[in-house]
Amino acid sequence: MIKELDCELYILCSACRLKQLSCELPAMRFCKTLKGCVLVLAFAVLTCIGQRQGVGDQPQDLADALTPLASVLSGRMPQFEVTGRVSVPIDGSPQTIEVRIVRYDSKSFDLALTHADYAIEIRRRADVTAMALPKHGTVFIGRGCVDAADSLQPVAIADRMISKSSSLGTISFGLNLLAAGDIEATLRGLLASANFLHDPSKGCWKSGAATIICPKDESIGVSVNDVHISLDTKADVGIAPSAEEWPGMKILELPRGELERTLLCGVRRATEVLRPSDDLTEPSQSPRATQNGSLTWIDGQRIATLWGTPEEIGTAHGKLLPDESRRCIESVLYSFGAVNTVRTGRWFRHDLEAAYARLSPHIPERHKRETQALALSLGMEPEIVQVLNVFPELFHCSGFAVFGTATKDGKLYHGRVLDYMTTIGLQDSATTFIVRAEGQISFANVGYAGFIGSVSGMNAEGISLGEMGGRGEGQWDGAPMATLMRRAMEECDTLQEVQDLWTNSPRTCEYYYVFADGKTNEAVGVAATPESIEFIKPGQTHDRLGEGIKDAIVLSAGSRLEELRRRVTEKHGQIDSEVGQWLMSRPVAMSSNLHNVLFVPADGVLYVANASHDKPAAEMPYVKIDLKKMLDNISDKPRVALTP
């Protein structure tokens, strides 16, 4: 909201798009609350900048009333304190957040947010930064150097915290206007193009559903529908409390650079997801090429073709998709990571590092070499890319395979629905990879930039795979699910070989799968835990899946399973590529539907749909990708890099 205050306000944004996690994490309510808080706080101060609904006769005293608060929020005052309360409707009931923001000088501030279920307090000083979680009795204290690009230092924080890929860049413009000249004159100029009308009988100003009340100097009240906010400011802030003394709380030390980077990058990524600019909604579709790789587009979808040694593939991946990889990493490690830390009281990256230490012995060396090369190509610490690639998957998905009498032409059609976290913007990194790794079977991997594992894929031998997550997060003494998926595509050319790979490998957590072989029209459902594995045959009745359907495997849960079974039964004998896509439409796919894939492995073809920022994958067009044709186009000759 202000040049110096942006850090305090926009820290709230790190969770703003996690409000409807499909996996029903306990953080959902917290994320919804923070989203409402962010939007209303931004509106409260910037509404007079952002409204462009028309021109009305503006009462001069609105500018007068807003000038004291704008003086504080535009950074004109070297010290100030803002306290307030935000009430937002969450799941049909009002939720209240107490807010306190204090600026002591150009390097120091406090931020405290208190909700009935969650609380966070940040104290930043010239040489130390602390993030306290009172509900957990834990404080993370960071000391040491901070990269200037990732610093939470208040001065000019908006330029670092609001991405060029976010339309919220207009906020920076408004802040600069207020900070640059006469505040009252600037307010009057901005209000001249707004549509706030004075209601003398109620002592307020109105614009559509928004109402502003300024009961006294340096106070403001804003209501928008069922959302209410009140703010009070003062110039006397007193002495800053220590950022290192937290009586009765457990203190955990962190590198200061990591602490501030998590908060700043999490917020920056959240601004992209909350309000994407044309960079994300209408990205450039110019082809690119580099040694051992090329990036093309098919009807708006990224297709990255990679070949060679693990080092060559990882290097090409990073060179072709640097921005997309950054977005994926920031969504997972920073935006989601910050929220998960507040929810659990544990530093999220520490959890991933602990998981990686247990998973690493079961990851093929060739995959580690590829990840190392990818990190080097991106200019990132290898550890960052390593932990991204073992991000705990909590997918709630659906899958099916139909063939023989169930399909119109007898071919096998394998559908895979991925319902997971559209709210953290993974769709901005969506990429289908066509990979011909040295000494391995070639394959198509429907995935995400920066992530080398697989959750949906098909190889050149007609093997297709899709997974569905269950319970058991934390059972990490085995091969990562995404590693097994990729190994199956690289190593297996029969359905039995895939089953043997799962049977003979140490497994993690609880996962369900559909495996299929288009060469033989065979498919199998799989229920796997670290302790057991069960294979479900086509037409088999199962107590968790219902009565068997001839020549069909149908996996899902709850009402989605019932609907998918109904559709497969209704269209039995008529299913083709068009009907197969319809089988995965809403409500079989959830609102968080990140991608859908229909494999036709006998033809070497897959149909892919990816979510947009406002629509689930099931409501987006499918793109046909011919794996055989894409592989035929791979040239071993060096390529000259194209300008994007």
What percentage of the chain's residues is helix, strand, coil (to nearest 5)?
35, 30, 35
Task: Please report where in the chains the tokens 């205050």 appear, as a residue.
Answer: 5
pLDDT digits (tens, 9 = 90+) for 498-512: 999 999 999 998 999
State how far Cα 275 lies from the chain centre. 13
Weakest-pLDDT range from 228-242, 312-326, 394-408: 394-408
Calculate ∠ Cα 205-8-214, nearest 5°: 20
Residues 6 or more apart whose CB falls under 8 angstroms from that of 324 comprise 302, 428, 429, 431, 448, 449, 450
Band (pLDDT 50/70/90 cuts) for residue 467 is very high
Weakest-pLDDT range from 178-182, 406-410, 487-491, 628-632: 178-182
Q: Residue ranges per domain, the chain? A: 6-273, 283-632
Handedness of CA 183, 184, 188, 194 (dihedral sign): positive
Q: Which two tokens stand for residue 574?
A: 């008529």
Band (pLDDT 50/70/90 cuts) for residue 179 is low
Strands lying side by side in the sheet with 430-437: 288-290, 293-298, 301-308, 430-437, 443-448, 456-459, 463-469, 511-517, 522-528, 533-536
> What is the pLDDT, as a whole number, of residue 314?
98
How many angstroms separate the CA atoms of 421 and 337, rounded? 13
Q: Which two tokens stand for residue 64?
A: 């007068």
Determine how β-strand 430-437 pairs with β-strand 301-308. Answer: parallel
For residue 397, is pLDDT > 70? yes
Weakest-pLDDT range from 15-19, 148-152, 529-533: 15-19
> What is the pLDDT, as a whole number, of residue 15?
25
Beta-carbon-side half-sphere exposure of residue 301 (alpha carbons within 13 Å): 25
Residues 6 or more apart whose CB falls under 8 angstroms from that of 319 comprise 290, 293, 377, 641
User: What type of residue sits at position 543?
Assistant: D
Q: Which two tokens stand for residue 87?
A: 């009430």
Beta-carbon-side half-sphere exposure of residue 344 (alpha carbons within 13 Å): 13
Calculate ∠ Cα 166-175-73, nearest 5°: 120
How many angstroms separate the CA atoms of 197 and 463, rounded? 65
What integer is the mean pLDDT of 521-549?
96
Band (pLDDT 50/70/90 cuts) for residue 392 is low
CA nearest 389: which of 515, 261, 479, 488? 479
What integer is the mean pLDDT of 285-290?
95
CA nearest 252: which of 350, 340, 126? 350
500: part of which helix (H) or strand (E)?
Answer: helix 495-504
> What is the pLDDT, as a whole number, of residue 350?
93
Band (pLDDT 50/70/90 cuts) for residue 164 is confident
> What is the pLDDT, as a whole number, of residue 56?
39
> What is the pLDDT, as a whole number, of residue 41?
45
Band (pLDDT 50/70/90 cuts) for residue 604 is very high
Weakest-pLDDT range from 150-154, 421-425, 461-465, 632-636: 632-636
> What is the pLDDT, as a whole number, of residue 191?
66
Band (pLDDT 50/70/90 cuts) for residue 67 is confident
> What is the pLDDT, as a whole number, of residue 628?
94
Which residues on neighbouring strands pair with residue 232, listed in sequence order? 83, 219
> What is the pLDDT, as a whole number, of residue 14?
25
What integer is the mean pLDDT of 446-472?
93
How many angstroms separate the CA atoms of 599 and 584, rounded? 12
> What is the pLDDT, as a whole number, of residue 410?
98
Q: Which two tokens stand for residue 154?
A: 């208040």
Band (pLDDT 50/70/90 cuts) for residue 288 is very high
Residues 6 or more apart whose CB falls under 8 angstroms from that of 112 comprise 98, 99, 100, 101, 119, 120, 121, 122
Residues 6 or more apart whose CB falls under 8 angstroms from that of 447 comprise 430, 431, 432, 433, 453, 454, 455, 456, 457
Beta-carbon-side half-sphere exposure of residue 164 (alpha carbons within 13 Å): 3
- Tell me the angle at which helices 183-191 and 60-73 cross, rounded to the nearest 10 degrees: 130
Instruction: State the virtual CA torsion across 451, 454, 457, 458 in degrees, nearest 10.
Output: 100
> What is the pLDDT, as a whole number, of residue 207?
79
Q: Report helix, strand or coil for 574.
A: coil
Which residues on neighbouring strands pair with residue 307, listed in sequence order? 436
For residue 62, is pLDDT > 90? no
CA nearest 480: which of 352, 605, 575? 352
CATH homologous superfamily of 283-632 equals: Penicillin V Acylase; Chain A (3.60.60.10)
Band (pLDDT 50/70/90 cuts) for residue 285 is very high
> What is the pLDDT, as a whole number, of residue 202?
79
User: What type of residue sits at position 583?
Assistant: L
pLDDT digits (tens, 9 = 90+) for 319-375: 999 999 999 999 999 999 998 999 999 999 998 898 899 999 999 999 999 999 999
Is the link from the previous residue into 134 a cis peptide, with omega within 30 of 0?
A: no
* 85: number of Cβ within 10 Å: 15
Band (pLDDT 50/70/90 cuts) for residue 63 is confident
For residue 177, is pLDDT > 70? no
Q: What is the percent of the chain where pLDDT is above 90? A: 65
Band (pLDDT 50/70/90 cuts) for residue 464 is very high
Weakest-pLDDT range from 246-260, 273-287, 429-443: 273-287
> What is the pLDDT, as a whole number, of residue 217?
65
Its pTM stands at: 0.86
Task: Please report where in the chains the tokens 């023989």 appear, as a residue.
Answer: 404
> What is the pLDDT, as a whole number, of residue 219?
80
What integer is the mean pLDDT of 30-50?
41
Band (pLDDT 50/70/90 cuts) for residue 23 is very low
Q: What is the percent of the chain where pLDDT is above 70? A: 83
Helices within 118-253 (DSSP H only): 157-161, 169-180, 183-191
Q: What is the DSSP letter of 242?
A: P
How many angstroms separate the CA atoms of 253 and 259, rounded? 10
Cβ proximity of 450 and 374 under 8 Å: yes
Residue 346 Cα distances to 38, 131, 235, 318, 350, angstroms: 24, 12, 36, 30, 8
Cβ proximity of 586 and 616 under 8 Å: yes
How many angstroms separate the CA atoms of 6 and 624, rounded? 44
Q: What is the mean pLDDT of the chain?
A: 85
> What is the pLDDT, as a whole number, of residue 490?
98
Q: Report helix, strand or coil for 440.
A: coil
Band (pLDDT 50/70/90 cuts) for residue 92 is confident
